[in-house]
Homo-oligomer: A and B are copies of this chain.
Amino acid sequence: MHSFTEENYLKTIYYLATRQQGEVTTNALAEMTATKAASVTDMLRKLADKQLIHYRKYQGVRLTSEGERLALKIIRRHRLWEVFLVDKLGFGWDEVHDMAEELEHIRSDELVERLDKFLEHPQFDPHGDPIPTTAGAMPQTGYRKLSEVAAGESVCVMGVLEHSPEFLQHLNRTGLTLGCSITLREINAFDKSLLVQIQPESTLFVSHDVARNLLVEGE
């Protein structure tokens, strides 16, 4: 069995590995887990002993296939619980992360599979993130960042890259929630801010900081 802490490290390594190439560094892990580099080194030695990561001193780490399998299992749990909290209990998408962070560690495969069935096998969590399959596959989405869309294109908001309550609440206020159809009217060359049409009658300014954290699906 694995501790909460080990599970959180595996998930964090997976997360960091997907948004960069090469090995995940000690300092990056220390920052994400809000601990110190020395503590990370201790844990890396332990995860390496358990064959969950490939680790060479000073060279960073990479998940083994067993480590990745475990990471995906925790991510599956996390995202299913988030769906439960939003769809069944009525929480907002900005409120569920911390609870799911705890619920993901409840140790029962049967529980997860029954929850999945109860939720009618959702494909995406409330933030648009794909839910890994029982078999441990992470479904790929072809989403682009809104910041990479060309002027004139019409797209649908499908997910977010930033999960902080502050960002999600900002989206709530501006109306840029999942499923929302928008057309990109102008791109401001100076600060890369966007003018998007959100309703036939209403347009909205979107900063580059927001645009590069919004995932959209082409026309």
Residues of A near any B CB (own CB < 8 A): 85, 88-91, 98-99, 102-103, 105-108, 110-111, 114-115, 118
- Interface SS of chain A: helix, strand, loop or mixed? helix
Q: Bound complex: CA of A85 vs CA of B103, how far in Å?
A: 14
Copies in the complex: 2
Residue of B nearest to A108 (CB): B99
Task: Tell whether, in the assembled complex, residue A89 and residue B118 are in contact, meaning their CB atoms are under 8 Å apart.
Answer: yes
Which residues of chain B have C-beta atoms less than 8 A from A114's C-beta? 89-91
Q: Which residues of B contact A110 (CB under 8 A)?
A: 91
In the complex, the chain B residue whose C-beta lies closest to that of A81 is B106
A78 to chain B, nearest CB (A): 13
Bound complex: CA A110 to CA B99 (Å): 10
Choose from B99, B102, B103, B118 the contact partner of A88 (Cβ within 8 Å): B118
Residue of B nearest to A100 (CB): B106
Query: In the complex, which of the residues B90, B99, B102, B111 contacts A99, with contact meaning CB atoms closer than 8 Å?
Result: B111
List 9 contacting pairs A-B, 8 Å CB cutoff, sorted by A: A89-B111, A89-B115, A90-B114, A99-B106, A99-B108, A102-B105, A102-B106, A102-B107, A103-B103
CA distance A102 to B106 in the complex (A): 6
Shortest A109–chain B CB gap in Å is 11
Besides A89-B111, A99-B111, 15 more A-B contacts (Cβ < 8 Å) are A85-B111, A88-B118, A89-B114, A89-B118, A90-B114, A91-B110, A91-B114, A98-B108, A99-B106, A99-B108, A102-B105, A102-B106, A102-B107, A103-B103, A103-B106
List the B side residues contacting A106 at CB < 8 Å: 99, 102-103
Nearest-CB residue, chain B, relative to A89: B114
A98 to chain B, nearest CB (A): 8
CB distance from A103 to the nearest CB of B (A): 6
CA distance A110 to B107 in the complex (A): 23
